[in-house]
Amino acid sequence: MNHQPLLIIRGIERQLEILTARSVDLVSRAELRRKLETAAAAKRPLRVKYGADPSAPDIHLGHVVGLNKLREFQDLGHTVVFIIGDFTGMIGDPSGRAEIRKPMAREQIAANAKTYQDQVFKILDRSRTEVRFNSEWCAALAFPDVLRLTAQVTVAQMLARDDFQKRFKDNQPISVVEFLYPIIQGYDSVRVDADIEVGGTDQLFNLLVGRDLQKAFGKEPQVVLTLPLLEGLDGVRKMSKSLGNYVGITESPREMFGKIMSIPDALMGRYAALVLGWPEKEQSLPLEQAAAKGKRHPRQVKDELAQAIVARFHSPAAALAASAEFERVFSEHKQPDEIPTVVIPMTQRKNGKLGVMALLVAAGLAESNGAARRLIQQGAVKIGETKITDITMELAIPEGSVIQAGKRAFARIVSA
């Protein structure tokens, strides 16, 4: 990869056009222009901050929206400071939350942080990325230091924030610890000398606190740039691991392809623009409009989109194979070529039989008995060609039986 900074071959206005494309909030354009001009004159890269709490082990397409923007900064010669919030993760970001978030154990945070580092470089340029953990400076804060930080932000400011305001009016509890979260995130900007901070629209308040704290510490305030939140597979709520409406970037090509094929047609252009970076006027909107106006079948358009996303995170060959398998399984109602084998020892069975809910959990097709019950009640479970609708059913499972849960999950059952 050629790492020659593109600053020397692109004008400032062109850089602004690239960097602000698809953004929502920008505080402010004049400040960003001045920072770009100063950086070009001094031949030094800007420091672009992005923080992620390792609240789940996988990065999904919602994270890709921000990572794409960071890569654009890198391609223009700038440095990304990727902050893994191993300290803030113990608090939990209250953004968009209607209730107090449960703190995470240090061990889980550490494990998730490792996978984050493995995955972000599918998009970011490692040579232009500085990875930092905010426990590096936050864990050393003494109580007087915390008091000095909290003195920079008022309760009125906190309660002006939409989610806090709503919870306060609804008489929902707000922990004082949650008030600390945006202050600590802002303090991260002080410690890493951030020139710019990028985040989703739900992060605007936190990012602006960073500006305030930088001013309080006598530093030049960071430019704030927010990006749209990508809707998940349900087409309504933002993509989230906890909501189960996500597409992980390390999922198998088959799983990734199938999930993309399930998104609402109206989101195709949005996924093309925000995940793939396709220009809206030239590619994203025409793709969506062609389907909406009946010029192309929505399934064909979505197949093209799903292949492009799978190819980005796997390979074009894997994308073609996933498309072919999807056609075979869903259009021709055949089983996939590769079905994982699950061993269920006879010792788990009573009189050679196993309850259908226990079977789904043991086969890894449902996370819990509750999830298994929902699948059965939705008519989504089949053994061979037989649909299972009775949640109390006890099954004698013939060796090699294939069980299907939902549209994409299969397992072949064998005994120990």
pLDDT in tens, 188-245: 999 999 999 999 999 999 999 999 999 999 999 999 999 999 999 989 899 987 778 8
Burial (Cβ within 10 Å: 0-12, 13-18, ≥19) of residue 136: middle
Residues 185 and 258 in one domain: no
DSSP H or E segment with residue 395:
strand 394-395
Looking at residue 410, its pLDDT comes to 80
Beta strand segments in 46-195, E: 47-52, 79-84, 129-133
Residue appearing with tokens 């930092």: 132
- Structure confidence by residue, pLDDT tens digits, 231-256: 999 898 999 877 788 999 999 998 89
DSSP H helices, 193-267, are 204-216, 253-261
Query: What is the tally of structural domains in the chain?
Result: 3
Residue 136 lies in a domain: yes
Give the structural domain span for 156: 6-227
- Structure confidence by residue, pLDDT tens digits, 8-44: 445 889 899 999 999 999 999 999 999 999 999 999 9
Looking at residue 9, its pLDDT comes to 44
- The sign of the CA dihedral 103, 193, 230, 309 is negative
Looking at residue 3, its pLDDT comes to 46
Task: Give the confidence band of 2 by pLDDT, cuts at 50, 70, 90.
Answer: very low
Residue 375 lies in a domain: yes
Residue 234 lies in a domain: no
The amino acid occupying position 329 is V
Residue 236 lies in a domain: no
Q: Which residue has the higher pLDDT, 382 or 137?
A: 137
Q: What is the mean pLDDT of residues 388-416?
A: 77
Residue 247 lies in a domain: no
